Structure 1
């Protein structure tokens, strides 16, 4: 069985128990995406470099007894409707990806939103 074939629970357990490294899992997942993506066309953007960097950081943290929970070291995909800092997002637009919008972690609540929230 390849690491990409593990269930989320099995992968998380293996990482926590140090039987599988986050780097091995990320490499396996990215290799599988490379194999099947030309046929599936499921991804708008694959952030392999960001994935490798996060996996190396998680591996370092876990090796230094800084395990942060069951999703630590697990690669994930996000729907293209979610803005991610530094990554183009098309939000299913036919006009193509854009980085003009601000990612959700950079948004400030508007006065209208804040006022509406208080009135509820």
Structure 2
């Protein structure tokens, strides 16, 4: 569930964490990095997240303009998720975070 106090804060870092905070959103974004993915495929790639939480996180990312949800009028229904241009701008930032962590001193 989204913490609206974070998303409306005067502090830009707090607002950013309100949008990207949590353990799943950065992972979802990287899973959508170079392809459109159906919900079931995304759920298979992320077996530790429940379908309920995945649905909630995707909905929030869509509301924030990071993820695009495209529903097709087919039987059975088909829905695909992809990154918007705004979402694509996050990829180099997330890659830098991964590189930063990889360079961390050994514990």
Q: Do both proteins adopt the same fold according to a TM-score greater than 0.5, normalized to the shorter chain?
A: no
If each structure's helix is expressed as a fraction of its own residues, which one has the higher value?
2
Q: TM-score, normalised by structure 2?
A: 0.25
Q: TM-score, normalised by structure 1?
A: 0.23
